[in-house]
Amino acid sequence: MISDNSNHFDVAIVGGGINGASAAQHLAAAGYRVFLAESGDFANGASARSSRLLHCGLRHLADGTSPAEIIRNPLRLFRALNTVREDMIARDEIVQSIPDRVKPMTFCLPVYRQDTYRPWHMGLAFSVLRMTSPRGVALDYQRYRPDAANLPPLSRHLRAADQLSGMVSFREYMFDWPERIALDALNDARHLGAELRNYAKVTRLQRDNGLWCLTLQDGSQVSSPVVLNLAGAWVDSVSASAGSNAAARCQPISGVHIALKLPEEFDGHGVFAFNRLGEPLYCLPWRGHHYVGLTRRPHSGDRAEITATDEEIDWLLAETNHCFPCLGLTRKDVLYSWAGVNPLTADPAEPLGSREIKIHDLEADGLPGIFSLTGGPIMTHRRVARRLVARVRERLKPSRPEQSPTYDRRRVSGDAEILQAATEAPRSLADLMMRRLGYGWDPDQGLSRARHVAETAAPALGWGRSRVEQEIEDYINHLKDARRRPSAEAPSQEHN
Ligand SMILES: Cc1cc2nc3c(=O)[nH]c(=O)nc-3n(C[C@H](O)[C@H](O)[C@H](O)COP(=O)(O)OP(=O)(O)OC[C@H]3O[C@@H](n4cnc5c(N)ncnc54)[C@H](O)[C@@H]3O)c2cc1C
């Protein structure tokens, strides 16, 4: 067992995604001595692979379920309304406190005669949204008749104009980009006294004398009375490493996106349509191009190395072509793809997982002092962190005075930004490009800037000439693997 006091903390956090980062920030501000271990790079799990939407909550009211079905299931409706309220409050807080980390867009939703919804259902849904936050950030809801002269220009690419019963549009925000928001929270946590380690997998949790002892992959150990298991899609395996054999709390759902260059009529506009399974299909504007998502499948394989398959890419292309037939998109149009695993909440009634945000107290599973989280999206990370602080407070008093978290830190740009990123514990050029600087999300995935970034950061990171060359090569290979383009055209690509 650990005798060194420097390895003893009030709270240990497993997982450095958006929820781990935000929990570390809020707990450190509340006066707790915090340790956080992340097995890969910070914010490299689901937090780096989402649709990046700061949803207003419409998806919970229009998830493809018919209004009659919603009314027949009051418990589900009650849950949906609760989640809508959480989303709207989170939207207000994030847009108002970090306006330069989110981007507004006009989200258009075409409504067809044969759809589950009528345009007036949408009007009703937006009234409900507004009621949950009457003075919050504007929704800019607008309803168009199918023959209106002021229909958004992208509507000319929509399928079956003669079957359109109308269109609605509203203001939605996107995180640009979530990994940076996690890194900002981690910087603040460090500033408030937290100890943070990336590339430090927690391999074992043992209980000794009322404390949890966490063993990291390098053999080092830390102890704490409280552990927050915020390991995303890995929460159940982390609980198992502490000796729990309780039923799974997480339902991992994989999702794929593809990036495309669309005609200029789409600029600044997103489309919220329904695919042929009746599920939402998002087409989102992003730094001069668009991306489309997403697939939804229960996931059981490797969660870290997941990539989009040709089959998934073809399916997304076919669904996008179904919405916009004249685009005639093929595999050649795919700039890049990515895949992630969403740690949703396990619920026997919902095979594709429940979106209910749940904090599980694992005491009943024989793990006193361990809490785990499922279903916590990016957009509610601060609210979840505050709820976690409240749960920790029930067990433990803070050992230090309280401070305030700082959400909006001073920004730098150009080479100063690269040098600052080099102080944020990157191990590779990919860590810099993807998560700290975000250039990897440009249409060329940052390839035109990779050398400059590597050479500018090299002195601070102790990289010599050959290491710089190796990092550039590794970055190119990383893009080829993790963000793969599909192989040459499939024999019978669907273009209906
Ligand atoms: C395809 C897709 C689309 C989505 N779209 C949206 C969206 O539009 N808007 C939105 O708000 N949310 C969206 N989400 C959900 C959101 O991305 C996740 O809910 C959120 O990122 C979860 O954050 P997290 O910190 O809990 O988990 P993660 O970000 O997965 O972080 C968990 C971390 O734990 C680490 N870890 C695992 N095991 C260990 C261990 N033993 N030791 C140490 N560390 C460990 C992992 O490496 C990982 O980095 C989407 C998710 C997916 C996959």
Region 289-306: mean pLDDT is 89
Percent of the chain, pLDDT > 90? 80
The Cα 282–Cα 274 span in angstroms is 8
Choose among 246, 227, 228: nearest CA to 366: 246
Q: Rounded to 10 degrees, what is the CA torsion of 418, 424, 427, 428?
A: -20
Strand order in the sheet with 221-224: 202-208, 211-216, 221-224
pLDDT of residue 496: 42
- For residue 214, what are the contacts with CB-CB under 8 A and spacing of at least 6? 12, 14, 35, 37, 202, 204, 205, 221, 222, 223, 224, 227
The closest residue, in CA terms, to atom 16 on ligand 1 is 377
The Cα 338–Cα 294 span in angstroms is 10
The closest residue, in CA terms, to atom 48 on ligand 1 is 45
pLDDT of residue 387: 97
140: which 2 tokens? Answer: 């800019």
- Please list the helix, strand and coil fractions of the chain in percent, rounded to the nearest 5, in that order: 40, 25, 40
Please say if the pLDDT value at position 11 is more than 60.
yes
Contact 148, 164 (CB under 8 A): no
The closest residue, in CA terms, to atom 19 on ligand 1 is 377
User: pLDDT for 121-148, tens place per residue?
Assistant: 889 899 999 998 888 999 999 999 988 8
The Cα 435–Cα 449 span in angstroms is 15
The Cα 369–Cα 171 span in angstroms is 42
Cα 300 to ligand 1 centroid, rounded to whole Å: 16
User: pLDDT for 419-437, tens place per residue?
Assistant: 999 999 999 999 999 999 9
pLDDT of residue 495: 47
Choice from 35, 53, 234, 312 to test ligand 1 binding pocket (greatest atom count within 8 A of CB): 234
Cα 146 to ligand 1 centroid, rounded to whole Å: 39
The closest residue, in CA terms, to atom 4 on ligand 1 is 50
The Cα 18–Cα 198 span in angstroms is 14
Nearest ligand 1 atom to alpha carbon 254: 53
Q: Which residues line ligand 1 (CB under 6 A)?
A: 14-20, 37-40, 44-47, 49-53, 201-202, 230-234, 238, 255, 294, 340-343, 373, 376-379
Cα 265 to ligand 1 centroid, rounded to whole Å: 33
Nearest ligand 1 atom to alpha carbon 203: 41
The closest residue, in CA terms, to atom 21 on ligand 1 is 47
Domains of the chain with CATH codes:
5-47+178-249+350-393 (3.50.50.60), 102-175+251-345 (3.30.9.10), 414-482 (no CATH)
Contact 482, 307 (CB under 8 A): yes
Cα 340 to ligand 1 centroid, rounded to whole Å: 8
The closest residue, in CA terms, to atom 27 on ligand 1 is 232
Please say if the pLDDT value at position 2 is more than 70.
no
For residue 260, what are the β-bridge partners?
Answer: 290, 334
Cα 377 to ligand 1 centroid, rounded to whole Å: 8
Strand locations in 90-175 (E): 102-112, 142-144, 164-175
Choose among 395, 398, 402, 345: nearest CA to 375: 345
Choice from 39, 352, 358 to test ligand 1 binding pocket (greatest atom count within 8 A of CB): 39
Q: Rounded to 10 degrees, what is the CA torsion of 339, 341, 342, 346?
A: 150
Choice from 38, 84, 198 to test ligand 1 binding pocket (greatest atom count within 8 A of CB): 38
Nearest ligand 1 atom to alpha carbon 293: 1
Nearest ligand 1 atom to alpha carbon 232: 27
Per DSSP bridges, beta strands 297-298 and 250-260 are: antiparallel
Enter the pTM of the model.
Answer: 0.95
Calculate ∠ Cα 297-268-432, nearest 5°: 65
The closest residue, in CA terms, to atom 14 on ligand 1 is 50
Least confident of 78-87, 173-182, 306-315: 78-87
Nearest ligand 1 atom to alpha carbon 47: 21
The closest residue, in CA terms, to atom 49 on ligand 1 is 45
Choose among 131, 147, 148, 130: nearest CA to 139: 130
The Cα 406–Cα 214 span in angstroms is 29
The Cα 255–Cα 472 span in angstroms is 28
Give the pLDDT band of residue 3 (cuts 50, 70, 90). Answer: low
End-to-end CA distance of the chain: 64
User: pLDDT for 180-236, tens place per residue?
Assistant: 999 999 999 999 999 999 999 999 999 999 999 999 999 999 999 999 999 999 999
pLDDT of residue 244: 87
Nearest ligand 1 atom to alpha carbon 294: 1
Cα 435 to ligand 1 centroid, rounded to whole Å: 14
